[in-house]
Structure 1
Amino acid sequence: MQIFDSIKKMQEWSLQARKQGKSIGLVPTMGYLHDGHLSLVQAARRNCDLVVVSIFVNPLQFGQGEDFEDYPRDLSRDTDLLADAGVDAVFAPAAREMYPAGFSSSVEVSGEITRKMCGISRPGHFKGVTTVCTKLFHACMPDKAFFGQKDAQQLLIIKKMVRELNFPLEIIRVPIVREHDGLALSSRNVYLDAGQRQEALALNKALSQAKEQIAGGERDIARLKDRISGIITASPQAEIDYIEIVNGEDLSELEAVDGIVLIAVAVKFGKTRLIDNLLVEV
């Protein structure tokens, strides 16, 4: 496994692979890897000849007061995991490599898809995501890029950007990976104390019950949101950021549950903000 911290060296490696007729799968990450990330790697290995994993904690997607400085980092641990997983190359640039002095360019997806959910509570976040993904796509030159369903809004925004700006690659959605008790895997789970960790199980419980209610014929979005809220707020430390039930393909508003539906929540437990979601088709 090769490790690159230079955009030029990463591009040279990718160009050589392409000349040899090899397909490249990219897994973009911010590091501190868990089994959710490794499921993306496994999907990339199934679909592509070569797998590249990027590790970069992107300062542009963190707002004021967020956890950029405290975000967990352990490059040595991560590269050991990726070597064991059969990854071919790791792209781990420094911030000054990605954003040299005087850097002032950006890529932004506008419209309803970025003006709701995390776009409200984290202004500027998705502009940072689309800018860094654009740079990662140019550096690594993948044929396919693999994103987890847990970050559902991010996934749909990246797909929209790639489609509308004619990037020559395919975005692949990979299902959420959960711990044995249902908590969605996240690098931020390490922030939770024992009590918060237990209370956070309310997220999957609320989503699962909403899915059961829909299967039982419930179509009223307001009633479903109220029930989700009731389950989550029964946890004393839970502070709801949002509960959304929207079109699962473009995040547009729905009058009632119909078609492919995304049920998404963002909740803070103490200082730790967790997101989770479920796709339902009716």
Structure 2
Amino acid sequence: MQIHSSILALRAALEKRGRVVFVPTMGNLHAGHIALMTEARSHGDTVVASVFVNRLQFGPSDDFGRYPRTLQADCDKLSAAGVDLLFAPTEADLYPEPQQYFVELPGIEHQLDGEFRPGHFRGVATVVLKLFNIVQPQAALFGKKDYQQLMVLRNMTHQLALPIAVIGSETVRADDGLALSSRNAYLSPTERSEAPRLQRILQRISAAVQGGEADFSRLERDAVAELDHHGWQTDYVAVRRQDDLQLPGPSGKQALVVLAASRLGSARLIDNVEINPANGR
């Protein structure tokens, strides 16, 4: 596996590489990331990964300073997974001068996760657009665990007419259902045993909707109450449309998703469950 921090060196290494598939990450890789790398191989000739902890997407109260940085271990995992090239820039490589141009997003930036992490998706979209311009892939993979992020990046790519297929990959989970995340390392042993409750609640909401329940607000309130009763601090539980994350319409079968974000100790966990029309109300 080749490793580059220089934009020019990466671009030179990508010449005549066929169809390029890109998987951007912030490092501290786990089995979910590696599943993305493995899936990427089926979409092209050359798999490129990136490792960069993007300051622009962290708010003042977020964990930028303590976000785990494990580059050597990440390199070993990526190499073992068959990744062809790793782009691992420093901040000076990616932001040689202060970033003054940003991607401005529609109202969804301020809803759900955007409400609780102001500016987060602006920072994500800006760095991903910059990485897309550097790597110039034909396809890029993102995990569905970050559902709102996937929707934002897919719609950005579509509206800016980028020649890139944005592919959502299924969430990889532990045996007890907890979505794999770098932030799971913040959980104490007691918190780790409690953490799967989030997925169980979302599955219960999904089953209720599939069974014909249409009072989404009640389902959301009950879920928040249960989580908070067990020591969580919940930002939201929300049933939304899959395509734009707006409120569901009044009738008809719809592709829905139930999303949640809640803090357990010092870890902020997010998760979701899709409810597809064939099985929905």
With the length of structure 2 as denominator, give the TM-score of the two structures.
0.95
The aligned counterpart of 2:67 is 71
Whether 1:279 and 2:248 are equivalent positions in the alignment is: no
Distance 2:50 2:205 in 1: 35
Question: How far 1:180 moved relative to its partner?
Answer: 0.6
What residue ranges of structure 2 are gaps of 5+ in the alignment? none
CA RMSD of superposed structures (Å): 1.3
Distance 1:108 1:47 in 2: 30
Q: Percent identity?
A: 40
What residue identity is the alignment partner of 2:243?
A: E
Distance 1:73 1:44 in 2: 23
Q: Secondary structure at the match of 2:134?
A: helix
For residues 39-66 of structure 1, the C-alpha deviation after alignment (integer angstroms, 9 at most, x for no partner) is 1111101111110000000000000021
Aligned pairs for 1:53-92 (under 5 A) are 53-92=49-88
The aligned counterpart of 2:130 is 135
The aligned counterpart of 1:177 is 172
Distance 2:125 2:104 in 1: 6
- Contact persistence 1:25–1:142 (CA under 8 A): yes
- Contact persistence 1:266–1:273 (CA under 8 A): yes
Question: How far 1:94 moved relative to its partner?
Answer: 0.2
Question: How far 1:4 moved relative to its partner?
Answer: 0.6
What residue identity is the alignment partner of 1:117?
A: L
What residue identity is the alignment partner of 2:223?
A: I
The aligned counterpart of 1:157 is 152
Q: Secondary structure at the match of 1:172?
A: strand
Which stretch has the larger CA shift, 214-223 or 144-153? 214-223
The aligned counterpart of 2:239 is 245
Q: Which of residues 16, 23, 30 in structure 1 aligns to 2:19? A: 23
The aligned counterpart of 1:105 is 101
Which stretch has the larger CA shift, 206-215 or 64-73? 206-215
For residues 162-206 of structure 1, the C-alpha deviation after alignment (integer angstroms, 9 at most, x for no partner) is 001111110000011100111000000001101111221110110
Q: Which of residues 110, 116, 120 in structure 2 aligns to 1:115? A: 110
Which stretch has the larger CA shift, 217-226 or 164-173? 217-226
The aligned counterpart of 1:204 is 199
Q: Secondary structure at the match of 1:10?
A: helix
What residue identity is the alignment partner of 1:263?
A: V
Give 4+ residue runs of structure 1 displaced > 3 Å after superposition. 255-258
Quickly say closer, same or farther: Cα 1:7–1:235, change in 2 above 3 A. Answer: same
Distance 1:256 1:273 in 2: 32
- Contact persistence 1:264–1:277 (CA under 8 A): yes
Q: Secondary structure at the match of 2:248?
A: coil
What residue ranges of structure 1 are gaps of 5+ in the alignment? none
With the length of structure 1 as denominator, give the TM-score of the two structures.
0.95
Distance 1:169 1:101 in 2: 27
What residue identity is the alignment partner of 1:213?
A: A
